[in-house]
């Protein structure tokens, strides 16, 4: 039986250290995979905010800790002594929420129990809706939101509007890659790449800057409606949008677009 992506060349644009899972899922469907990161994930310029938040967690100053990405999980918990990570939040009697299954899996890898994951929308709106369903009232609830150096402010703004007290800490930086691989650009210009995957709004905008007019020389598949809107904002209509904001669903969308 021929695999559904056999003969298709797919470009993965996630940060290099996060390409393995998506690459494997695509190769399992028969695709030949190229990699061109559009953003680089780096530690924050200073750890002061994170290090100041850790003792506040231990003092039980927060009711909830919110993680919006697996990157935030990794960088935040790496500031906790390895022998304490699995028990850190449980000992502080704080509930942990993840924006989606991938972020929850990253927490589980550190031994952290996740109290809440949205069941439908794996984004800030979905997380707020899940918190509203889990709590009788958010008024006065205390949240620590672990986030990137850039991104939407929906989570903090919506929770604050509902009466919550929100403290944000930047656990990592998202920085655009400055120079593309010349062979990737040449492949795009020659229409040799069948599809590219876009996993975030920041990635969509970074890719447009990175590739210039070559950006429109392939079909792009978006992880979510928000990512699709970001593609449209830089002049590209997505070929497909994943039904769920998961890597498996993203690959399913590539398969559907290739049929």
Q: Where are the domains of the chain?
A: 9-38+177-258, 48-174
Class of CATH domain 9-38+177-258: alpha beta
pLDDT in the model for residue 237? 97
**Identical fold, 9-38+177-258 and 48-174:** yes
Using CA of residue 225, residue 30, residue 119, residue 39, what is the dihedral sign?
negative
pLDDT of 245 = 87
- Specify whether domain 48-174 bears CATH 3.40.50.10090: yes
Q: Where are the beta strands (DSSP E) in the chain?
A: 9-12, 32-35, 39-42, 64-67, 95-98, 142-148, 165-176, 195-198, 219-222, 240-241
Q: How buried is residue 72: exposed, middle or buried, by Cβ count under 10 Å (0-12/13-18/19+)?
A: buried
Backbone angles phi, psi at 203, to 5 degrees: -65, -45
Q: What is the DSSP letter of 135?
A: S
pLDDT at 130: 97
State the pLDDT at residue 1: 64
pLDDT tens, N- to C-terminus, the chain (259 residues): 689 999 999 999 999 888 999 999 999 999 999 999 999 999 999 999 999 999 999 999 999 999 999 999 999 999 999 999 999 999 999 999 999 999 999 999 999 999 999 998 899 999 999 999 999 999 999 999 999 998 788 999 999 999 999 999 999 999 999 999 999 999 999 999 999 999 998 899 999 999 999 999 999 999 999 999 999 999 999 999 999 989 999 999 999 999 9
Helix (H) or strand (E) holding 255: helix 247-258
> What pTM, to 2 d.p., does this model score?
0.86
Contact criterion met (CB below 8 Å) for 3 and 30: yes
H or E stretch at 24: helix 20-28
């Amino acid at each position: 039986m021929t695999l559904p992506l056999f003969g298709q060349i797919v470009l993965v644009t996630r940060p290099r250290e996060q390409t393995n899972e998506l690459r494997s899922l695509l190769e399992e469907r028969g695709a030949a995979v190229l990699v061109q990161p559009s953003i680089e994930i780096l530690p924050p310029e200073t750890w002061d905010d994170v290090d100041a938040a850790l003792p506040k967690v231990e003092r039980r100053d927060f009711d909830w800790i919110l993680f919006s990405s697996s990157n935030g999980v990794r960088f935040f918990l790496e500031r906790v002594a390895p022998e304490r990570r699995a028990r850190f939040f449980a000992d502080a009697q704080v509930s942990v929420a993840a924006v989606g299954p991938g972020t929850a899996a990253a927490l589980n890898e550190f031994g952290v129990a996740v109290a809440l994951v949205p069941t439908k929308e794996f984004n800030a709106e979905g997380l707020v809706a899940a918190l509203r369903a889990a709590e009788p009232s958010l008024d006065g609830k205390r949240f620590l939101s672990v986030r990137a150096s850039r991104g939407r402010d929906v989570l903090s703004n919506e929770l604050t509007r509902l009466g919550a007290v929100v403290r944000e800490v930047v656990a990592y930086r998202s920085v655009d890659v400055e120079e593309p691989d010349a062979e990737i650009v040449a492949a795009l210009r020659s229409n040799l790449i069948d599809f590219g995957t876009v996993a975030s709004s920041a990635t969509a905008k970074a890719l447009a800057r990175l590739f210039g007019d070559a950006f429109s020389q392939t079909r792009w598949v978006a992880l979510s409606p928000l990512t699709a809107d970001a593609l449209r904002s830089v002049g590209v209509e997505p070929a497909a949008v994943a039904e769920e904001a998961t890597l498996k669903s993203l690959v399913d969308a590539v398969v559907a677009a290739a049929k």
